[in-house]
């Protein structure tokens, strides 16, 4: 006999059984409602794109080390999307003449990255992407930060459970040059070092800093500068402040919405200004829940008209770790509200007919497909989550009646068939858990 194949999914991908899917559905529906409440509309795009768009736009780490690539039968080089941003930039560029800017769009794609699976990191994750295109206004930053907080609040999170950490690449360059005294030609490499700041031990950082030409004094000055957060901004010259969107955001909204943290750099190549991440306050879940930023011209690969914007991706893995560790996961919804059981095969058609009427009233209703003893069937219905079992016997049917059994109260009573829908809806308290 041939060897049986393994039942485990491909490493780094996940199967979702119905109970988990029900929890995910509730969480995502809540988030869609919040996002749509701000006027964002949902779009979608293909899982496969030309590999070029990531090589040009996503930055080295994603494009060279994490891309799943393939060649199609026509010799085209394709990739499974590792993120949605290049796709949405392409879509915006293709439709720019018909769109009214600013455009507020969101999506919920699965994305593939060839990474080492570990806590918070998988090879296929789902990412809610939210972007506003066609605006330079700092009010876009403020809107997006409010949206982040509203999404978290809708899931039951309070502000002490997570941190919205924000930086600005323009501001960081200014701080490196004017406050930390880093030579201008090193700011690019030093930014890349800061991106690894919290992921590496201090000794390693110091050694890497040496490697790019920072001596011990410069390294100490850099550490000290980074730990000062928003205070360093006051030391910046006017022209740097004038070029920084985040400085404008701080003027308009104050710093109640977020914390300035210059250690947030973000690996992706397309960000040009504000960058931000949301972290669980619990350090066990140490990967970002959301990551995003402002781009001056994301669609530049596809169109000559610059289209600035700001957006973020929120990943499902870290979000569910967060909800789990803070006790915020909703319970899975049961499969059924009602089960309609025929005592013998003769009442089967009548049972199906009653089930149809209950479904039309919005109740999740099933009829058994195989004949079993009534007691067994009631047990199975309860296990499937039903609160009510309707029993159809020959005698009751002849009288135009059925038995309605309330499983929670362990009570039952005969009822006219015509009253069933109202009676069962009342029993379920008008809520069906949909």
Our finding on whether 312 is near ligand HAM (CB under 6 A) is yes
Stretch that binds ligand HAM, among 229-237, 290-298, 335-343, 426-434 (CB under 6 A): 290-298
Residue 177 in tokens? 């040059």
* Contact characters 54-93, ligand HAM, x per CB under 6 A: -----------------------------x-x--------
The answer to whether 417 contacts ligand HAM (rule: CB under 6 A) is: no
DSSP symbol at 118:
B
Task: Give the HSE-up count for residue 30: Cα atoms under 13 Å, Cβ half-sphere.
Answer: 17
Cα distance between residue 359 and residue 338, in whole Å = 9
Measured between alpha carbons, how far is 271 from 171 in angstroms, rounded to an integer?
A: 13
Residue 125 lies near ligand HAM (rule: CB under 6 A): yes
Nearer to ligand HAM, 27 or 122 (CB): 122
Write the CA distances from 35 to 40, 106, 129, 192, 309, integer angstroms: 6, 8, 10, 32, 17
Q: Which residue in the set 209, 226, 299, 317 belongs to the binding site for ligand HAM (CB under 6 A)?
A: 317
Query: Which is closer to ligand HAM, CB of 173 or CB of 277?
Result: 277
Nearer of residues 122 and 170 to ligand HAM, judged by Cβ: 122
Q: Which span sits near ligand HAM by CB under 6 A: 176-184, 222-230, 306-314, 368-376?
A: 306-314
Find the binder of ligand HAM among 308, 311, 332, 393 (CB under 6 A): 311
Shortest distance, CB of residue 45 to ligand HAM, whole angstroms?
13
Per DSSP, the three-state class of 293 is strand
Q: Is 134 in the site for ligand HAM (CB under 6 A)?
A: no
Which of 277, 396 has the CB closer to ligand HAM? 277
Phi, psi of 68 (to 5 degrees): -85, 115
Of the candidates 54, 106, 279, 290, which one interacts with ligand HAM according to CB under 6 A? 290
CB-wise, 81 or 405, nearer to ligand HAM? 81
Query: Are 289 and 279 within 8 A, CB to CB?
Result: yes
Is residue 313 close enough to count as binding ligand HAM by CB under 6 A? yes
Q: Which of 190, 252, 245 shows the shortest CA–CA distance to 221?
A: 190
* Torsion of Cα atoms, 307 then 309 then 315 then 321, to 10°: 170
Burial label, 68 (beta-carbon count in 10 A; 0-12, 13-18, 19+): middle
Give the residues across from 125 on adjacent strands. Answer: 111
Our CB check for ligand HAM shows the closer of 309 and 332 to be 309
Nearest to 413 by CA among 422, 421, 404, 426: 404
**In this chain, which of 218, 289, 355, 417 binds ligand HAM, going by CB under 6 A?**
289
| CA 190 to chain CA mean position, Å | 31
Report which secondary-structure segment, H or E, holds 26: helix 18-37
- Closest distance to ligand HAM from the beta carbon of 196 (Å): 15
**Alpha helix ranges (H) inside 38-168:** 52-57, 60, 85-95, 138-154
Stretches 127-135, 149-157, 213-221, 386-394: which one binds ligand HAM (CB under 6 A)? 127-135
Name the residue whose CB lies closest to ligand HAM: 315
Number of residues that bind ligand HAM (CB under 6 A): 23
- The span of 38-46, 207-215, 247-255, 291-299 binding ligand HAM (CB under 6 A) equals 291-299
Residues 198, 151: Cα–Cα separation, whole Å: 26
In contact, 392 and 342? CB cutoff 8 Å: yes
Which residues from 229-288 bind ligand HAM, rule CB under 6 A?
268, 288
We find the least distance from the C-beta atom of residue 299 to ligand HAM, in angstroms, to be 13
- CA 389, CA 405: separation in Å to the nearest integer? 5
295 contacts 308 by C-beta, under 8 angstroms:
yes
Under the criterion CB under 6 A, does residue 127 sit at the interface with ligand HAM? yes
Q: Does 377 bind ligand HAM (CB under 6 A)?
A: no
Piece of the chain touching ligand HAM by CB under 6 A; list 126-134, 162-170, 181-189, 345-353: 126-134
Q: How far apart are CA 279 and CA 288, in angstroms?
A: 5
Least distance between ligand HAM and beta carbon 127 (Å):
5
Q: Which of 174, 292, 308, 393 binds ligand HAM (CB under 6 A)?
A: 292
Q: Which is nearer to ligand HAM, 131 or 248 (CB)?
A: 131
Tell which phi-psi region holds residue 89, choosing left (phi > 0), alpha (psi between -120 and 50) or beta: alpha
Q: Which chain residues interact with ligand HAM by CB under 6 A?
A: 83, 85, 113, 115, 121-122, 125, 127, 129, 131, 268, 288-293, 311-313, 315, 317-318
């Amino acid at each position: 006999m041939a060897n049986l194949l393994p039942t485990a999914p491909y490493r780094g991908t996940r199967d979702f059984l119905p109970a988990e899917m029900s929890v995910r559905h509730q969480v995502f529906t809540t988030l869609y409602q919040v996002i749509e409440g701000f006027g964002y509309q949902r779009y979608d795009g293909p899982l496969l794109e030309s590999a070029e768009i990531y090589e040009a736009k996503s930055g080295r780490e994603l494009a060279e080390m994490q891309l799943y690539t393939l060649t199609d039968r026509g010799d085209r080089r394709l990739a499974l999307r590792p993120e949605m941003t290049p796709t949405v930039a392409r879509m915006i560029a293709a439709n720019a003449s018909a769109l009214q800017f600013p455009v507020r769009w969101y999506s919920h794609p699965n994305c593939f990255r060839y990474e080492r699976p570990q806590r918070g990191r998988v090879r296929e994750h789902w990412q809610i992407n939210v972007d506003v295109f066609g605006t330079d206004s700092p009010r876009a930053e403020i809107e997006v930060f409010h949206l982040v907080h509203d999404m978290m609040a809708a899931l039951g999170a309070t502000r002490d459970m997570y941190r919205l950490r924000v930086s600005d690449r323009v501001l960081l360059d200014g701080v490196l040059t004017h406050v930390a005294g880093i030579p201008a030609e090193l700011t690019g490499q030093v930014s890349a070092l800061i991106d690894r700041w919290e992921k590496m031990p201090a000794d390693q950082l110091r050694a890497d800093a040496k490697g790019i030409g920072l001596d011990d004094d410069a390294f100490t000055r850099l550490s000290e500068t980074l730990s000062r957060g928003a205070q360093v901004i006051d030391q910046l010259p006017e022209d740097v402040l004038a070029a920084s969107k985040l400085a404008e955001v701080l003027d308009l909204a104050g710093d109640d919405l977020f914390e300035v943290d210059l250690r947030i750099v973000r690996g992706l190549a397309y960000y040009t200004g504000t960058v931000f991440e949301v972290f669980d306050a619990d350090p066990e879940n140490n990967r970002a829940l959301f990551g995003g930023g402002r781009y001056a011209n994301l669609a530049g690969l596809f169109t000559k008209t610059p289209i600035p914007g700001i957006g973020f991706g929120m990943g499902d893995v870290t979000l569910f770790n967060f909800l789990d560790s803070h006790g915020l996961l909703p319970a899975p919804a049961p499969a059924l509200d009602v089960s309609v059981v025929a005592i013998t095969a003769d009442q089967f058609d009548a049972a199906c007919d009653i089930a149809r009427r209950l479904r039309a009233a919005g109740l999740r209703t099933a009829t058994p497909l195989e004949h079993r003893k009534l007691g067994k069937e009631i047990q199975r219905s309860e296990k499937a989550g039903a609160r009510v079992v309707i029993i159809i016997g020959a005698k009751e049917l002849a009288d135009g009646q059925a038995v309605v059994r309330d499983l929670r109260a362990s009570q039952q009573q005969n009822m006219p068939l015509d009253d069933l829908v109202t009676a069962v809806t009342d029993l379920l308290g008008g809520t069906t858990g949909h």
